[in-house]
Structures are given as structure tokens and as C-alpha cells.
Structure 1
Amino acid sequence: MTDQVLAIDLGKTGCRGSLRLDGQQTRSADAPGAPGLANAGGVAAAERAIRDVVAQITTPTTTFTLSIGAAGAAAAPDAAAQLARRLTDLPGAHGIAVTSDAVTAHAGALGGAPGVVLAAGTGAVATAVDAAGRFTRTDGWGSLLGDEGGGAWIGVEGLRAALRCHDGRAAHTALAAEASAHYGVALDDLPKHLGQHENPALLAARFAPIVAAAAATDDTAAAIMTAAGHALARTVLATIDRSGIPSPAPFAITGGLTNLGAPLLDPLRRAIAQRTDPRAPLGEPIDGAALLALDAGTVLEEMVVRIL
């Protein structure tokens, strides 16, 4: 019998699981995400999310290779190894692979081939792999220090603009009323509302689609979206430069932020047009996790922690 694969895409927003046999999905499940392996308590939160998804998908007789792409694994490889060890007691798991969700995004988008991939969701990270297998990562430093142009970044910038308007420190923006309506609290209570949430980056990122929608009629929102597109472009261009991949570099973008559409993607694409050869993603990060589960021969292998 062909080995089953249980692929996990663990981001800061959600945790997706896909059980596959011969490459075809047989079951799937979703659970809330985790703040990231580099955060305090990040390994424990990741473990809880993964066990939740695995419990939804498997039965007592299910056997599988577990392959996980987890947010924060690239910044905290020791935490990735710890997570792998903590999951060895999962019933039915006869092999575990843990890597960064940026790595699985690259594998899913380009199928393990060289090139540059921008993964833009709650966070933002670009990765490159050249023909010799050399791996380059840019940003992905988390919402406090990086992830510029990502969903949490856009959401925070929108909320900051709302509070500046509320204080009279800046011109009027529709984002002030939108923020209060979206979170169901007065603007004065926004800091407490976000600060008491176990995953503030996730909560802030939920405001990003509202900022993008407001960009059509609100100058402040439009400026935030343009700035986000330019920030992502800087990440992509820096990745090309650091990797040494000749321009135009094979390039794909993946992640939930692509759903924000033209307000974000137009400035991004204009800024990188001369340096990239755009490709439609072959698949999603969860497809990359499934690929890496059984294939230890890709150029990404050195980024994968395996326990067999």
C-alpha cells in the first residue's frame, strides 16, 4: 500500500490538514493557527493546533507520514526540531518532517525547482533557491520586527491611521469608523482589545481586507495598500539580489493576501516587473508539505527536520 501523507500548513491565521493517498486528498480539516514557533509558547501552541487537526482527520487505524510547514520555523530551527520530537507519539505517525511554511510555500509554488517565491499571508517572507540548492530567506521576522507588507502589517497600519484620525493627529479617514464597527469596540478600547488577544497579529490581519476595500475611495487606505505593495516588492528584490539568481528570476506569489487584489498587487507587480519572470503557482503551501513528505531529494531538503 502506498504511504499516506498527512500534510499540515500551520500559519498564524489557521492550521490546515490534508490526508492524501497517491497524491489525492481523502480527508481534510481546519483549526485556528498559532502565533509562530519563534514566539514564547510557540511550540506548545503549534503542537495543540496540529494535534487538533490530526485528531479530526485520522482514525485509530490510520498510518501516515506527517509533514508540517510551520510559521516561525526558519527563524527558530531549534523550535522546529523540538516540535518534531513532541509529535513522535502521535498514533499512526511513522515519519515526521517539519520545516518553515516559507519552505513549503516555495515547494508548492515551484514544485521544488529553483526560483523566488513570495509567501504573503498574516506575515510576509520571500524565499529563493538557486540551481545549486542554495537557500535564501528575506523577512519573515514576525509582526513585531518585520513581515512588512503582510496582513498583520496592513491591519496595524490601518488601525494606527484610525487612531491618528480619532486623536486629530491626521486627516479624516473612513478607517476610523470601519475599525470600530469591525471589532465592535470604541476606538479608545482598541489597544486593550488587541492586547488581550492570544494572537494579536491574527486579530490585526483581519482588518487588512477592510483596508483594501476602503482603498477605492479613501486616500489613507490607498496609501497604506501602496506602501504594502512596495514593502513586499523590496523583499522580493532583496531576495533576488542576495540569492544571485539572474534576472528575470522565476517568481510566484502565494498566500491569502493575494485575495486583496489590485490595491496590493498592482504596485507590487509594477515594482518587480523588470526583475521577475512571473509564474502561476503550481500549488499551495500544503501541496508543498505533501511533496516534501516523501521526497527528500529536492533542493529544499537542508531546511527540513526529519524524524523517521
Structure 2
Amino acid sequence: MTSHVLAIDLGKTGCRGSLRVDGSQVGYAEAPGAPGLAYATGVIAAERAIYAVTRQIDSLPTTFTLSVGAAGAASAPDAAAALARRLAEVPGAAAVAVTSDAVTAHAGALGGSPGVVLAIGTGAVATAVDDAGGFTRVDGWGPQLGDEGSGGWIGLEGLRAALRAHDGRGQRTILTEKAREHYGIELEALPKYLGEQDNPALIAAEFAPFVAAAVDDTAAAIMAAAASALARTVLAAIERSGIRPPVPYAITGGLTKLGAPLLEPLDRRIAHAIDRRDPIGDPIDGAALLGLDPTTALEALVTRISDTY
């Protein structure tokens, strides 16, 4: 029987959609992301982002499974259920599956096998699945309460350092000029500019690559702190899950593009506890897997609307 699945990876930075027929991608589209389902308008923003993707994909099949990994779903299960109900109205969506983007990241990276996955982008979260299917999540609390070491966190720390230097409260740093250049405004206008954004964490995350590339003590200290924060997240996930080291481990997400300034110190801090694996796939692969397979260890974390399941 031919399988049709529209897999959605909905993060705070972007929303990606992949239409797959019997495992082969036949359509793809991208759109801006959404702040997260935990926000007051998170469900509406998520629905808008997903529709922006579906409208771009030509020749959607008559019936298909719509499988979504959405930022914030783990913290807001009621919102995830509400999103699933709304998506059941998408023309052709005979089945809907909604879960956290952290869950789809784990499924994509380790193919449903036990282990720990660190997903880092605008936000940051580590997930662990043990041999019995027990699930542990560490961080992923959003930009106000957590996501330590994430792109949003690094960007904000860089902007704070720039403002401290501007005020004379901190040491001089190249980040001051980089912030002016990137945002095209004077530093005094940054609070108003960020406050006007629907997704301020995303705007702050834009600055993370500049922090990683900057060659001065302030930027280096921020990157070292980010690596330490992410290492604590991984090690806490291992300890809380009870999985005995060395633990199968993979890292995924757009922030991996920052490369050595972040990844080398992170690897050093967790090397004693992990068995490093290359990711099998990415979160959109995980969404495709979970959309069609209700028997994985992660099934309890998936909200489904379908006559089948």
C-alpha cells in the first residue's frame, strides 16, 4: 500500500515541509517559523506557518498523513491537541500527528533507538529515550525561562555584552559594532526593535553567528558559557534517564553550523559519557517516521487524530 505523508518541522526560526511517497521526497517548501505553542497565540501562529508551507507544495495527494513536530508542544500539550484538531481540517489530511520538535529530532537522529539527542537552534533541548521507552526531556523551556546555550541565548548574551560596553559597564568588544551593522540601527533603539517583533528570540538568534565568529575575549566567554550550558543539559538528560554511559548520542539543529567555537568545547565536556553518533536524519525525517509508525517508543508523546489509530 502506497504511503503519503506530509512531514512538517515547525521551529521558532523556520517551518519546513516535505511531501513523501513511499519514503521518497516528491515535494518540499519552507516558510517562516512560529514563536512556539506555549505562547498565547502559539496555535494560531503555528497553523499559519503550516498553511504557508502546504500552499507551496504542488499536487498534494487526495489523502495523506500530516505529521508535525512543533516547538513548544511538550510544554503545552493542550495547545498541541488544539493544533491537531485544527489541522484535521486541512483538505486531504486523513490522519494528523502532532508532537514536539524535540521528539521528532530524537526520532530522526537515532531512528527511534534509545539514546540522547541534543537539538539546538533558536532554542535548545535534550531528549533521552531508554530501552523501555521511558522519555526524559531537559530544558526546552523557551527564551524567557531556559533554552540555555541556544541560538537565541547566544544572540541575547552578545547583545547584552554590546550594550554593557556601550554604557561603560563592561569591557570593550567588537560585538558593539557588529550589532549596529547587523541590525542597521543604533544600540539605543534595540529594546524597541526587539519589543516590536512577533518572535524576538528569532531576531536575537540572528546575532549568534556574529558572536561565534568574533575574535575577542567577550565573545569567547559567551561561546564557552554556551558550550557549558549545553553540556549540563546533555549530562542532566543522561543522569535523569538512568541510561548507563557511554550513551548513544547525536546532535542536530541549525546551531551546529556555528562549528568549532561551540561544538569543540561541548564535545570535550561530555566525551566521557557519550557514544557519539552521526544523525541518521533530521527532525523532518523524524516527523515522517512518527507520522506513519504508531509503534515506536515515542508513541505516547504523539497526539493523533485518525480513524486508524
Q: 1:60: Cα distance to partner?
A: 6.5
Give the secondary structure class of the aligned counterpart of 1:252. Answer: strand
Residue number in structure 2 paired with 1:127: 127
Amino acid at match of 2:132: A
Superposed CA offset, 1:231-273 (max 9, x none): 0000000000000000111000000010000110111100000
How many positions carry a matched residue from both structures?
A: 306
Whether the 8 Å CA contact 2:68–2:99 is kept in 1: the answer is: yes
1:118–1:127: 8 Å Cα contact kept in structure 2?
yes
Aligned partners of 2:38 and 2:75 also within 8 Å:
yes
TM-superposed CA distance for 1:92, in Å, is 0.7
Q: Does 1:240 align with 2:209?
A: no
Partner of 2:147: 147
Distance 1:222 1:296, change over 3 A: same
Q: CA–CA distance in 2 between the matches of 1:302 and 1:110?
A: 17
Structure 1 match to 2:222: 224
How many Å separate the matches in 1 of 2:58 and 2:35?
A: 25
1:48 and 1:218 map into 2 onto residues whose CA distance is 41
Listed one character per residue, the Cα deviations across residues 166-223 of structure 1 (whole Å, up to 9, x for unaligned) are 0000110000000011000000101111110111000000000110011xx2110011
Determine which of 250, 254, 261 is the counterpart of 1:263: 261
- Partner letter of residue 29 of structure 1? A
- The answer for unaligned runs of 5 or more in structure 1 is none
- Aligned match for 2:300, one of 282, 285, 302: 302
Query: Alpha-carbon deviation of 1:57?
Result: 1.1
Q: Give 2:57's aligned residue.
A: 57
1:57 alignment partner, SS class: coil
Distance 1:242 1:90, change over 3 A: same
Are 2:66 and 1:66 aligned? yes
Sort the Cα spacing of 1:240 and 1:199 in 2 relative to 1 into closer, same or farther, 3 A: same
Distance of aligned partners of 1:161 and 1:94 in 2 relative to their CA distance in 1, 3 Å threshold: same
Q: What is the identity, as a one-letter code, of the residue corresponding to 1:277? A: D
Identity of aligned residues (%): 71
Aligned residue identity for 1:138: V
**Aligned counterparts, 1:82-231, within 5 A:** 82-214=82-214, 217-231=215-229
AA aligned to 1:293 is G
**What is the Cα-based RMSD across aligned positions, in Å?**
0.8
Instruction: Report the Cα distance in structure 1 between the residues aligned to 2:302 and 2:3, rounded to whole angstroms.
Output: 19
Q: Give distance in 2, aligned partners of 1:285 and 1:306.
A: 18
Q: 2:76 corresponds to which letter in structure 1?
A: A
Residue type of the partner of 1:224? I
Q: Which runs of 4+ in 1 moved over 6 A?
A: none
